[in-house]
Amino acid sequence: MLVKSAEFVCSNTQVDKLPAPNLPEYAFIGRSNVGKSSLINALTNRKGLAKTSQRPGKTQLINHFIINDNWYLVDLPGYGYAQTSKKNREDWGKFIRYYLTRRENLQCIFVLIDSRLEPQKIDLDFCCWLGEKGLPFMLIFTKGDKQSNVKSDQNMAKFKRALLKWFEEVPRRFLTSSEEKVGLEPILAAIDEINAGFEPPIVTEEI
Ligand code: GTP
Ligand code: MG
């Protein structure tokens, strides 16, 4: 898929203020600092579209971007940010979980995992929660340029094995580097494929 246009639409903490659910939507989520915003910029080939930072906890809201006037891409705040209060973490959980379970046009959740790390409990727990809720997701391993492909492949295989303890099948997996623009096209192709079958939810108006 060619990204011809990519525009910021809005930032929100409230699900009832989000854009009408008439276009397919894809959310990017994962640990704080894993590279969500960088990946969104790489996928759309727009440097400053999503705000990135070396400091974890940069993205704090539900950020909607519209791509090719045809689908929404959503940048979410990261989980597992240690430098924040317990109350903040609980609030994060509440509003993100609410968004993920209630958003009718959400087609797929891309869970980002740092390819340099062995499987982390927080990521596995999050995937299990998605599984329990029956929410469709795929895995994107980030920062592939930071070590050899062999090392990345090993960590991806370990993550797959860990998930197979809970899941019968593991979802699709992608290895990427936003820095070197590697592994992006297969993600866009997966989105394209889902977009082709999208039917807007039927909105029933109150009489
Ligand atoms: P929060 O919004 O805080 O949850 O973080 P985030 O997941 O959006 O991470 P962000 O994209 O802001 O990136 C965090 C840091 O990782 C930045 O310093 C990026 O430059 C760096 N980074 C992200 N992706 C890559 C990558 O593919 N390769 C390398 N080498 N660095 C990356
Ligand atoms: Mg971010």
Give the residue whose CA is nearest to atom 15 of ligand 1. Answer: 54
CA–CA separation, 43 and 118 (whole Å): 25
pLDDT digits (tens, 9 = 90+) for 88-138: 767 778 888 999 999 999 999 999 999 999 999 999 999 999 999 999 999
- What pLDDT does 51 receive? 81
Residues 6 or more apart whose CB falls under 8 angstroms from that of 43 comprise 3, 73, 184, 187, 188
Q: Which residue's alpha carbon is nearest to atom 21 within ligand 1?
A: 35
Domains (range + CATH), the chain: 1-9+37-78 (no CATH), 114-182 (3.40.50.300)
Q: pLDDT tens digit string along 15-34?
A: 889 999 999 999 999 998 99
The whole-angstrom separation of Cα 156 and Cα 173 is 8
Mean pLDDT of 150-177: 97
Residues flanking ion ligand 2, Cβ below 5 Å: 36-37, 58-59
pLDDT at 203: 67
Under 8 Å between Cβ of 21 and 103: yes
What pLDDT was estimated at residue 109? 98
